[in-house]
Amino acid sequence: MAAPVTHVAELTGAEALISTATAAGIEVCFANPGTTEMPIVSALDSVPGIRAVLGLQENVCTGAADGYARIAGKPALTLLHLGPGLANGLANLHNARRANSPVVNVVGDHASWHLPFDAPLTSDIAGLAGTVGSVLITRQAEDLPGDTFSAIEASTRTGVISTLIVSADHQQQVSPRQQPSAVRVARVRPQVPAERIHELARLITASADDIVVLLGATALSRKGQDAAGRIVARTGATLYSETFPARAERGGGLPAIDRLPYFPETAIQALEGRTVLLAGAPAPIAYFGYEDIPSRLAPDHLVHVLSAVDEDSEQALVDLATALGADAVLSAPVAPELPPATERLDGATVGRTVAALLPEDAIVSIEGGTCGYPFFSASAGAAAHTALTNTGGAIGQGLPVALGAAIAAPGQRVIALQSDGSGLYTPQALWTMARERCDVVVLIAANHVYNVLRTELGRHGNDDLGDQARSLTSLGDPALDWTALAKGFGVPASRAVTAGQLADQLTDALQSRGPRLIEMVLEA
Amino acid sequence: MAAPVTHVAELTGAEALISTATAAGIEVCFANPGTTEMPIVSALDSVPGIRAVLGLQENVCTGAADGYARIAGKPALTLLHLGPGLANGLANLHNARRANSPVVNVVGDHASWHLPFDAPLTSDIAGLAGTVGSVLITRQAEDLPGDTFSAIEASTRTGVISTLIVSADHQQQVSPRQQPSAVRVARVRPQVPAERIHELARLITASADDIVVLLGATALSRKGQDAAGRIVARTGATLYSETFPARAERGGGLPAIDRLPYFPETAIQALEGRTVLLAGAPAPIAYFGYEDIPSRLAPDHLVHVLSAVDEDSEQALVDLATALGADAVLSAPVAPELPPATERLDGATVGRTVAALLPEDAIVSIEGGTCGYPFFSASAGAAAHTALTNTGGAIGQGLPVALGAAIAAPGQRVIALQSDGSGLYTPQALWTMARERCDVVVLIAANHVYNVLRTELGRHGNDDLGDQARSLTSLGDPALDWTALAKGFGVPASRAVTAGQLADQLTDALQSRGPRLIEMVLEA
**Pick from A34, A288, A485: which is nearest to B453 by CB?**
A34
Nearest by CB to residue B114, choosing from A36, A289, A468, is A289
Burial (CB count within 10 angstroms: exposed 0-12, middle 13-18, buried 19+), residue A300: exposed
CA distance B516 to A58: 27
Contacts of B130 in chain A (CB under 8 A): 124, 127
Nearest to A488 among B34, B123, B481 (CB): B481
**CA nearest to B92 within chain A:** A84
| B12 beta partners | B174
Are A398 and A366 in contact by the 8 Å Cβ rule? The answer is yes
Closest alpha carbon to A237 in A277, A197, A178: A277
Task: Please name the residues in contact with B310: beta carbons below 8 A apart, sequence gap of 6 or more.
Answer: B100, B158, B189, B190, B217
Contact check, Cβ <8 Å, B56/A425: yes
Q: Exposed e or buried b for every residue in B12-23, given b needs 16+ CB within 10 A?
A: bbbbbbbbbbeb
Q: Residue B227: phi, psi to the nearest 5?
A: -65, -40
Rounded to a whole number, what is the distance in Å from the CA of B139 to chain A's nearest CA? 17
Residues of A in contact with B287 (CB under 8 A): 119-121
Nearest residue to B42 via CA among B86, B79, B75, B76 = B79
| DSSP annotation of B296 | B
Cβ-count burial of A227 within 10 angstroms (0-12 exposed, 13-18 middle, 19+ buried)? buried
Q: How many CB atoms sit inside 10 A of residue B148's CB?
A: 29
| A362 CB neighbour count, 10 Å cutoff | 24
Q: Which amino acid, residue A524? A: A
CA nearest to A162, candidates A184, A130, A185, A138? A130
Which residues from B are below 8 Å from A113, CB to CB?
A: 289, 295
Q: What is the pLDDT of residue B1?
A: 35
Residues in chain B within 8 Å Cβ distance of A459 = 38
User: Closest Cα partner for B30 from B122, B112, B93?
Assistant: B93
- For A303-320, how does the pLDDT look when each residue is reduced to its tens digit (9 = 90+)? 999 999 999 999 999 999
Nearest to B283 by CA among B251, B343, B243: B243
Side chain identity at residue A177, one-letter code: R
Digit-coded pLDDT (tens) for A132-150: 999 999 999 999 999 999 9
Cα A501 to its chain centre, rounded Å, is: 30
Task: Determine the residue among B460, B465, B474, B482 to mutate to test chain A binding: the one whose Cβ has the most chain A Cβ atoms within 10 Å.
Answer: B460
The closest alpha carbon to A451, from A352, A359, A374, A354, belongs to A374
The predicted model gives B142-169 an average pLDDT of 95
Is A218:A280 a contact under the CB 8 Å cutoff?
yes
Q: Where are the alpha helices (DSSP H) in B156-221?
A: 168-172, 194-206
Kindly list the residues from chain B whose CB atom is less than 8 angstroms away from the CB atom of residue A86: none
Q: Are B91 and A91 within 8 A, CB to CB?
A: no
- What pLDDT is stored for residue B209 in this prediction? 78
* For residue B4, pLDDT beyond 50: no
* Shortest distance, CA A233 to any CA of chain B (angstroms): 32
- Do the beta carbons of residue A505 and residue A518 sit within 8 Å? yes
* CB distance B107 to B82 below 8 Å: yes
Task: Write the CB contacts of A522 (distance below 8 Å, at least 6 apart in sequence).
Answer: A345, A346, A347, A350, A370, A445, A446, A447
Q: What is the pLDDT of residue A180?
A: 59
Measure CB to CB from residue B38 to each of A98, A421, A457 and give the nearest one: A457
Which residue of B119, B123, B427 is in closest CB contact with A94?
B123
Instruction: Round to whole Å and give the CA distance between A494 and B445.
Output: 29
Given a cut of 70, is residue B464 above it in pLDDT? yes
Question: How far apart, in whole angstroms, are the C-alpha atoms of residue B59 and residue B426?
Answer: 7
Q: In what order do the strands lie in the sheet with B303-307?
A: B258-259, B238-241, B211-215, B275-279, B303-307
A44 Rama class: left (phi>0) / alpha (psi -120 to 50) / beta:
alpha
Q: What is the pLDDT of residues B300-336, one digit of tens each?
A: 999 999 999 999 999 999 999 999 999 998 889 999 9
B340-361 pLDDT tens trace: 999 999 999 999 999 999 999 9
Q: Is B379 left (phi over 0), alpha (psi -120 to 50) or beta?
A: alpha
* A347-357 vs A499-510: helix crossing angle, rounded to 10: 30
Q: Do the chains contact at A127 and B127, CB–CB below 8 Å?
A: yes
CA-wise closest residue to A223 among A199, A194, A255: A255
Quick one: three-class SS letters along B215-278? ECHHHHCHHHHHHHHHHHHHHCCEEEECCCCCCEEECCCCCCCEECCCCHHHHHHHHCCCEEEE
Let me know: does B505 contact B444? Beta carbons within 8 Å: no
Cis peptide before B75 (omega within 30 of 0): no
**B120/A392 CB distance under 8 A:** yes
DSSP conformation class of B490: T
CB-CB neighbors (< 8 A) of A490 in chain B: 478-481
Say whether A41 and B472 touch across the interface (CB within 8 A): yes
Is the pTM of the predicted complex or chain greater than 0.90?
yes
Residue ranges in chain A whose pLDDT is less than 50: 1-5, 7
Q: Which of A85, A128, A471 lies nearest to residue B128, judging by beta carbons?
A: A128
* Helix or strand (DSSP H, E) at A5: none
d(CA A2, nearest CA chain B) in Å: 38
Instruction: Band the pLDDT of B3: cuts 50, 70, 90.
Output: very low
Contact A435 B42 (CB under 8 A): no
> Which residues in chain A are contacts of B128 at CB distance < 8 A?
90, 128, 131
Q: What is the per-residue pLDDT for A1?
A: 35
Could you report the predicted ipTM of this complex, rounded to two decimals? 0.96
Interval B460-485 mean pLDDT: 93
Residue A181: the pLDDT is 59
B289 with A110: Cβ contact below 8 A: yes
- Residue closest to B98 by CA, chosen among B362, B394, B304: B394
Give the three-class secondary structure for B501: helix
Q: For residues A156-176, b (16+ Cβ closer than 10 Å) or e, as one string? A: beeebbbbbbbbbbbbbbebe
Q: For residue A206, with 0-12 CB atoms within 10 Å meaning exposed, 13-18 middle and 19 or more buried, which class applies?
A: exposed
User: Cα–Cα–Cα angle for B281, B287, B293, nearest 5°?
Assistant: 110
CA B352 to chain CA mean position, Å: 23
User: Dihedral angle at the C-alpha atoms of B437, B443, B447, B453, nearest 10 degrees?
Assistant: -90
- For testing the chain B interface, which of A15, A18, A45 should be mutated: the one with the most B CBs within 10 Å? A45
Average pLDDT, chain B: 95
pLDDT in tens, B105-136: 999 999 999 999 999 999 999 999 999 999 99
DSSP symbols for A58-118: HHHHHHHHHHHHHHHSSPPEEEEEHHHHHHHHHHHHHHHHHTT---EEEEEE--TTTGGG-
Cβ-based contacts of A460 with chain B (< 8 Å): 38-39, 42, 172
**Which residues in chain A have Cβ-Cβ distances shorter than 8 Å to B471?**
52, 54
Nearest CA in chain A to B423: A56
pLDDT attached to residue B178: 59
Nearest residue, CB atoms, B56 vs list A168, A424, A473? A424
Q: What is the DSSP letter of A53?
A: E
Burial class (CB in 10 A: 0-12, 13-18, 19+), B399: buried
pLDDT for the residue numbered A2:
39
Chain A nearest C-alpha distance from B523 (Å):
20
User: Could you count the other beta carbons within 10 Å of the beta carbon of residue A44?
Assistant: 27
pLDDT exceeds cutoff 80 at B524: no
Q: How far is CA A136 from CA A171, B24, B302, in A?
A: 15, 43, 39
Chain B residues within 8 A of A132 when measuring between CB atoms: 123
State residue B357's pLDDT score: 98
Q: Do residue B471 and residue A54 have CB atoms under 8 angstroms apart? A: yes
Q: Which residues pair with A240 in a beta bridge?
A: A214, A258
Distance between CA atoms of A457 and A279, rounded to whole angstroms?
Answer: 34
Identify from B57, B125, B473 which residue to disrupt to test chain A contact, counting A C-beta atoms within 10 A and taking the largest count.
B57
Q: Which strands, in side-by-side order, build the sheet including A238-241? A: A258-259, A238-241, A211-215, A275-279, A303-307
